[in-house]
Amino acid sequence: MSNPIIEPQAGEISIELGSDYSDIRESVRRICSDFPGAYWRDLDERQAYPDAFVKALTEAGYLGALIPEEYGGSGLPLRAASVILEEIHAAGCNAGACHAQMYIMGTLLRHGSEEQKRRYLPEIASGKLRLQAFGVTEPTTGSDTTQIKTRAVRDGDHYIINGQKVWTSRALYSDLMLLLVRTTPADQVAKKTDGLSVFLVDLREARGNGVDIRPIRAMVNHNTTEVFIENLKVPASMRIGEEGKGFRYILDGMNAERILCASEAIGDARWFTRTAAAYGTERMVFGRAIGQNQGVQFPIARAYAETEAAEMMVRKATALFAARRDCGEAANIAKMLASEAAWHAAEACLQTHGGFGYAAEYDVERKWRECRVMQTAPISTNLILSFIGQHVLGMPRSF
């Protein structure tokens, strides 16, 4: 049952305790029960896309959870989306093919024209169109988004785009891609965040006509790619919002992304602690359960405590986001704490299983690999610490 801490007064926010959205949690668990470890191991082996899983979530309305009802979605708040992703990961599944659509859609919803929203959002909500690719990172700029070099030049009613993106996950399985480019060179703007613009690219038309997508085989099965763009012709009507204001448009989406990824990490941590505790209770060595040993029990217990603390920061971040308050600090801290709690739980789980932790059939090694990426992407722990040091504590720039 949901229990607000207090009745919120003017200007305050409420954070619920307990198992919120219990009906959604139960529904997601039922869906995930149809996709056991064997399903994910097979996908991992083939580096394949989880079509059946995405289809099941779409039909249940969960990939359109944040799309308003007037555009065919469920109109749920970010906390509901957070719960959906948490439960997916807590069930041993992976929401990598789902979270991107949830947060990318926000840029279109908040800053797109009414024509763009009515054209694309209903079909995204129904699953007829997939918007799961976000072209931002480049080989030579990494996380320094303001220094991207992909360039769009206005040519009448169109833009001509040239450049390259990397780590653009699911571009081969997406119909649409949100693309961040420079419309004004960096040396011609007053602020380095100026001169960036966002486009919605129809990949169904662009592949082979200016866009070449190549898969990158990686440690985790996120279907990631590099995207080469050469003289791609994009209608000006596909630009989202004003030219040169794109960096501001994607900021809200970045905070939502951090919150949603933190929620996935919370789910991972819950899977690891539950799995480790069960194995530690059942596994007998030298005539006693290995979980009786403090060296086994305490790391699992500590990971559990860290997870509970991290979840409260996730809830704070979603509450601030829902109240349209500045949530950058909370979103970044939530992502860092949740990813670290999940990693500590993963380490404890792998260690508890001993040699069996490396056996694919237990799913521990798969989840361990998937979990590790959370400390690197979508933002690394060091960049979060840099953000806190400079923008929260007011310390000098460290670079």
Q: What is the pLDDT along the chain (399 residues), one digit of tens a residue?
A: 444 433 444 457 888 777 899 999 999 999 999 999 999 999 999 999 999 999 999 999 999 999 999 999 999 999 999 999 999 999 999 999 888 888 888 899 999 999 999 999 999 999 999 999 999 999 998 778 889 999 999 999 999 999 999 999 999 999 999 999 999 999 999 999 999 999 999 999 999 999 999 999 999 999 999 999 999 999 999 999 999 999 999 987 899 999 999 999 999 999 999 999 999 999 999 999 999 999 999 999 999 999 999 999 999 999 999 998 999 999 999 999 999 999 999 999 999 999 999 999 999 999 999 999 999 999 999 999 999 999 999 999 876
Regarding beta strands 196-202 and 176-182, do their DSSP bridges make them parallel or antiparallel, or are they unpaired?
A: antiparallel
Residue 177 DSSP code: E
Residue 56 is inside which H or E element, if any?
A: helix 51-59
Residues 66 and 77: their CA atoms lie apart, in Å, by 6
Q: Could you give the C-alpha distances from 65 to 50, 92, 101, in angstroms and in order? A: 19, 21, 10
Nearest to 201 by CA among 115, 135, 125, 127: 135
Nearest to 81 by CA among 201, 239, 256, 220: 256
Nearest to 18 by CA among 260, 334, 312, 337: 312
Q: Judge contact between 307 and 341, C-beta under 8 A.
A: yes
Diameter over CA atoms, the chain: 79
Query: Residue 369: how many CB atoms within 10 A of its CB?
Result: 15
Concatenating the DSSP letter of every residue in 194-236 gives TTEEEEEEEHHHHBTTTEEEEE---SS----EEEEEEEEEEEG
Q: What is the pLDDT of residue 144?
A: 83
Reported as a single tens digit per residue, the pLDDT across 301-343 is: 999 999 999 999 999 999 999 998 999 999 999 999 999 999 9
Nearest to 337 by CA among 392, 265, 270: 265
Q: Judge contact between 266 and 342, C-beta under 8 A.
A: yes
Q: Which residues pair with 17 in a beta bridge?
A: 3
Residue 245 DSSP code: B
Q: What is the phi/psi pair of residue 351, to 5°?
A: -65, -40
Q: What is the pLDDT of residue 11?
A: 59
Q: What is the phi/psi pair of residue 21, to 5°?
A: 50, 50
Concatenating the DSSP letter of every residue in 75-110 gives ---HHHHHHHHHHHHHTT---HHHHHHHHHHHHHHH
Q: Structural domains in the chain?
A: 3-130 (1.10.540.10), 133-244 (2.40.110.10), 248-392 (1.20.140.10)
Reported as a single tens digit per residue, the pLDDT across 347-397 is: 999 999 999 999 999 999 999 999 999 999 999 999 999 999 999 999 998
Concatenating the DSSP letter of every residue in 99-156 gives HHHHHHHHHHHHHS-HHHHHHHHHHHHHTSS-EEEEE---TTTTT-GGG---EEEEET
Q: Could you give the C-alpha distances from 209 to 169, 206, 212, 233, 335, in angstroms and in order? A: 20, 5, 8, 8, 38
Q: Judge contact between 236 and 157, C-beta under 8 A.
A: yes
C-alpha 159 chain-centroid distance? 29
Coil vs helix vs strand at 52: helix
Residues 303 and 281: their CA atoms lie apart, in Å, by 17
User: Dihedral of CA 76/78/81/83: which sign?
Assistant: negative
The pTM for the full model equals 0.94
- Mean pLDDT, the chain, integer: 94
Q: Judge contact between 327 and 255, C-beta under 8 A.
A: yes
Residues 46 and 115: their CA atoms lie apart, in Å, by 39
* 179 Rama class: left (phi>0) / alpha (psi -120 to 50) / beta: beta
Coil vs helix vs strand at 162: strand
Residues 318 and 80: their CA atoms lie apart, in Å, by 9
Q: Judge contact between 111 and 253, C-beta under 8 A.
A: no
Q: Judge contact between 203 and 171, C-beta under 8 A.
A: yes
